Amino acid sequence: LNEDHWGFFFRNRLMAVEYKNERIARERIGVFTGWKDFAVGGNQPIGRKRHTLLGQVWSAPVRTCIDLEVSERQDRIPFAEVKDLEFKRTQVGERFGPTWSTFWFKLKIHISAEYSGKEVHLMWDSNSEAMLWSDHGQPRQGFTGGGGMCRRDNYPLFHEVPSGGAEVVVYVEMACNGLFGAGRGGDIEPPDPDCSYTLSECGVSTFDAEAWQLLQRVTFLEGCATSLPVGSTLKQTALHCANRVINAVDVLDKQTYGKGLEIVDKSFLQSGTSRPLDSSEFTRTGVTPMVFAIGNCHIDTAWLWPYAETRRKCARTWSTQIRNMEMHPEYKFVCSQAQQLEWVKEDYPSLYQVGVAV
């Protein structure tokens, strides 16, 4: 074999070893976070859920602390008419339909003293789109239930439950359609007019903010390792850093989470930027890379749902983004259709005013 043949041989051997190591490392990250074998509704197979970060973020929902009532089927009505509706008791497991109809739920939530000082979230999954309203008629946040990674099934009721517990009343406006309408045989298909949707969760969970922060950081590292090109210094640093975190953290011992956060922050993140300490690119140029991520939502004005549902989708979207901006003051959100802001101003004036203030 000549020099070219030996060079080809060793280059391919090195690529094979690098690929194998990367595959093993990324699989290990997926098992640690819980994103590997992710299962909607359970987040993880029952036997494994507690041994993942994802399984530690929210406690198992408690349903007995919620008095749950539902209205009869409605058209799309303003909140001003909701207080005059008649409500009856309902429970998780009941189905609601047909397609494009609306049901209003009244939730009387009793938080006991044992939750004092903890962050508590409402967990809601009607396998459809929905929006949570305050008792005073303020749209607070959209829900997206069912399968898929676009789901949003939690709402923070209390960032810190007062001593002695608390009680709160909220309403949920359930729209009998999914994120992409109600496709017959698939998401992007003409709508099926006879769909029904099952309320599969309505409960209260505690939220572990430190577990969530660690989950986000390690997920970010995995994203860098997945998306960056082979041979990238940043790619290898991300894999190495994630592996160190997994070695340092016992998912069942929350006292170790701080060490994991420290490893990511000191070894990979610096002053909010994604510059690895051993970056040859930084050494060579002296320039710190900056990545800007800006939230955006494109809502089709007319596609797989009625025009009137578009206007409700706007409210669900903007209310959710306002919550994000409240939790993360540095977060920015843009929309590509100014007309939809006008609809929010017309249909949900209080929400529009809060958006302007934020």
Confidence of residue 13 (pLDDT cuts 50, 70, 90): very low
Between 122-136, 227-241, 299-313, the lowest mean confidence (pLDDT) is in 227-241
257-273 pLDDT, tens digit per residue, is 999 999 999 888 763 44
pLDDT of residue 68: 98
Which segments of 215-338 are extended strands (E)? 295-297, 333-335
Checking if the pLDDT of 9 tops 50, the result is no
Checking if the pLDDT of 146 tops 50, the result is yes
Please state, in angstroms and rounded to a whole number, the distance separating the CA atoms of residues 357 and 18: 51
pLDDT of residue 20: 54
Please state, in angstroms and rounded to a whole number, the distance separating the CA atoms of residues 67 and 223: 41
Checking if the pLDDT of 188 tops 90, the result is no
pLDDT of residue 282: 60
Checking if the pLDDT of 298 tops 90, the result is no
Please state, in angstroms and rounded to a whole number, the distance separating the CA atoms of residues 42 and 32: 16
78-119 pLDDT, tens digit per residue, is 999 999 999 999 999 999 999 999 999 999 999 999 999 999
Checking if the pLDDT of 193 tops 50, the result is yes
Could you tell me what percent of the chain has a pLDDT over 90? 62
- Helix (H/G/I), strand (E/B), else coil: 139: strand
* Residue of higher predicted confidence among 175 and 338: 175
What burial class does residue 197 get, using C-beta atoms within 10 Å of its C-beta: 0-12 exposed, 13-18 middle, 19+ buried?
buried
